[in-house]
């Protein structure tokens, strides 16, 4: 069975970059009838907060991305200690004592010599007496994984064949001096234990993948199939990383973006397939192909979400918006008519409030001085309310006969006087909904 996972760290609110990863893994699982795991990588207890977990759950539920089970790394610390002991016994874990300053000096020296800044494995030469002495000096040991210095190769689902020389990579630190288990280790243990078969994540994780393949193998596991998607950039190609906080899902939600618009864009953005508004997650899953994605940085522009949102909301049947319209205070006998008139002139559902306010309270008239006498004369010729769909045509015909005005010179001043806008729904449909008429 296909098993995928989305493994965010609850140290902030998730953004479009996180969503891209979550959605790809979700769609792979759903397309194959597999299992999708939500795993909270919360081993950093200082930065992980419940409010971010709650926000994450809320965002995923809003999008309809359901999971088959939840795992939480903070509840698996005993398992990580057990796995660490396994690696120690196998000779794949070794304790180090260099301070951050000492490591930085080593890196600088190597770079100045034109060499890659790879850890020199000096701690492998420490004797038990050396380690006791260092501890007596007040140093706390941290643990690195001993890489087999050979080529690590796999066929990436997006990038294609990848080969990394492990000798060009530092032995990764897996457990910090304070005992905190780091992502590279905890994730490897979890992926083996949970039988994860496919992992899609950002291209910035390629080197992590190389080391994790060896960690998984050392734990007796079979590495999953990996695919590394391109990173998002801004609409002009600029790095998006600093702006991702402003592109959190909660902010996009607050701006009126509809879930299916966001999902439709993210499921195709950066692939060879055109972005199209999908009707459901099942439809997105059916057409999803991770191999259709490219490796070049992918431009993301939040503005592209609004045409998709507009198409989505304008296509909604009345039954789907009945409660939202009732909440605005629209009378039940006017609700369906109001939706039919307003829906073609909204981008997000919140736009409905402005239209109902206009119909209920009337508009602030916009009248050019040259048209003021004409508008006054025309308004005086309006028949008494209630108006019907025929009222606009009958009224403007009478005004045309009385004033000689026609075409745009006839219709535009009247539209602007009645609605305060130069554009909008057909006036024949607007008039029956107008509660108050302007005074000019």
Q: What whole-number distance in Å separates Cα of residue 278 and Cα of residue 364?
A: 39
> For residue 287, is it within any domain?
yes
Q: For residue 43, which phi and psi values (nearest 5 degrees)?
A: -70, -20
Same domain, 343 and 408: yes
Same domain, 420 and 341: yes
Write the CA distances from 73 to 15, 76, 182, integer angstroms. Answer: 21, 5, 11
> For residue 118, is it within any domain?
no
Domain of residue 59, CATH code: 3.40.50.620
Q: Indicate the residue among 315, 338, 359 that finishes a domain.
A: 315
Instruction: Please state, as a whole number, how many other Cβ atoms lie within 10 Å of the Cβ of residue 126.
Output: 17
Provide the pairing of β-strand 3-6 with 35-40.
parallel
In this prediction, residue 176 carries a pLDDT of 96
Q: Indicate the residue among 315, 333, 354 that finishes a domain.
A: 315
Same domain, 304 and 331: no
In this prediction, residue 238 carries a pLDDT of 80
Q: Which of 47, 35, 39 is nearest to 73 (CA)?
A: 39
Evaluate whether 19 touches 300 at the Cβ level (below 8 Å).
Answer: no
> For residue 192, is it within any domain?
no
> For residue 373, is it within any domain?
yes
Same domain, 346 and 304: no
Residue whose pair of structure tokens reads 């009224």 in the numeric block: 395
Same domain, 340 and 397: yes
Number of domains in the chain: 2
Same domain, 326 and 286: no
Same domain, 378 and 291: no
> For residue 10, is it within any domain?
yes
Residue whose pair of structure tokens reads 């307003």 in the numeric block: 342
Range of the domain at 344: 317-433
In this prediction, residue 244 carries a pLDDT of 63
> For residue 330, is it within any domain?
yes
In this prediction, residue 336 carries a pLDDT of 97
Same domain, 308 and 321: no
> For residue 238, is it within any domain?
yes
The ranges of the chain with pLDDT < 50 are none
Same domain, 326 and 362: yes
In this prediction, residue 240 carries a pLDDT of 72
Q: Indicate the residue among 263, 294, 315 that finishes a domain.
A: 315
Q: Give the pair of three-digit tokens for residue 120.
A: 């020199």
Same domain, 330 and 296: no
Q: What whole-number distance in Å separates Cα of residue 45 and Cα of residue 116?
A: 33
> For residue 214, is it within any domain?
no
Q: What is the pTM of this model?
A: 0.91
Same domain, 332 and 358: yes
Same domain, 279 and 292: yes
């Amino acid at each position: 069975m296909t098993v995928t996972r989305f493994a965010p760290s609850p140290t902030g609110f998730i953004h479009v970059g996180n969503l891209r990863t979550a959605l790809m893994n979700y769609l792979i699982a759903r397309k194959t009838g597999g299992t999708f795991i939500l795993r909270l990588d919360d081993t950093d207890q200082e930065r992980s907060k419940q409010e971010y977990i709650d926000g994450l759950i809320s965002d995923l539920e809003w999008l309809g991305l359901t999971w088959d089970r939840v795992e939480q790394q903070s509840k698996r610390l005993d398992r990580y200690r057990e796995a660490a002991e396994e690696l120690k016994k196998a000779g794949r874990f070794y304790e180090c004592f260099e301070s951050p300053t000492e490591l930085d000096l080593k890196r600088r020296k190597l770079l100045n010599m034109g060499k890659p800044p790879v850890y020199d494995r000096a701690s492998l030469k420490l004797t038990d007496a050396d380690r006791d002495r260092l501890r007596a000096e007040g140093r706390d040991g941290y643990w690195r994984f001993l890489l087999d210095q050979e080529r690590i190769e796999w066929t990436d689902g997006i990038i294609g064949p990848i080969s990394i020389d492990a000798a060009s990579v530092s032995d990764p630190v897996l457990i910090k001096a304070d005992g905190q288990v780091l992502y590279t280790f905890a994730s490897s243990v979890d992926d083996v234990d949970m039988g994860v078969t496919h992992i899609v994540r950002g291209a910035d994780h390629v080197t992590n993948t190389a080391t994790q393949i060896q960690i998984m193998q050392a734990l007796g596991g079979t590495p999953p199939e990996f695919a590394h998607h391109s990173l998002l950039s801004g609409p002009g190609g600029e790095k998006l990383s600093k702006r991702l906080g402003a592109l959190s899902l909660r902010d996009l939600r607050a701006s009126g973006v509809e879930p299916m618009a966001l999902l439709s864009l993210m499921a195709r953005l950066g692939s060879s397939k055109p972005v199209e508004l999908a009707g459901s997650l099942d439809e997105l899953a059916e057409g999803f192909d991770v191999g259709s994605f490219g490796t070049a940085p992918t431009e993301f522009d939040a503005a592209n979400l609004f045409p998709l949102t507009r198409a989505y909301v304008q296509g909604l049947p009345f039954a789907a918006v009945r409660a939202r319209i009732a909440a605005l205070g629209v009378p039940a006998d006017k609700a369906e008519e109001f939706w039919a008139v307003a829906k073609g002139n909204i981008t997000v559902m919140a736009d409905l409030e402005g239209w109902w306010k206009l119909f209920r309270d009337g508009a602030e008239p916009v009248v050019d001085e040259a048209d003021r006498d004409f508008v006054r004369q025309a308004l005086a010729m309006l028949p008494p309310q209630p108006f019907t769909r025929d009222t606009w045509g009958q009224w403007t015909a009478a005004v045309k006969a009385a004033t000689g005005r026609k075409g745009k010179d006839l219709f535009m001043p009247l539209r602007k006087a009645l609605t305060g806008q130069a554009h909008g729904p057909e006036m024949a449909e607007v008039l029956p909904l107008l509660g108050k008429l302007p005074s000019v």
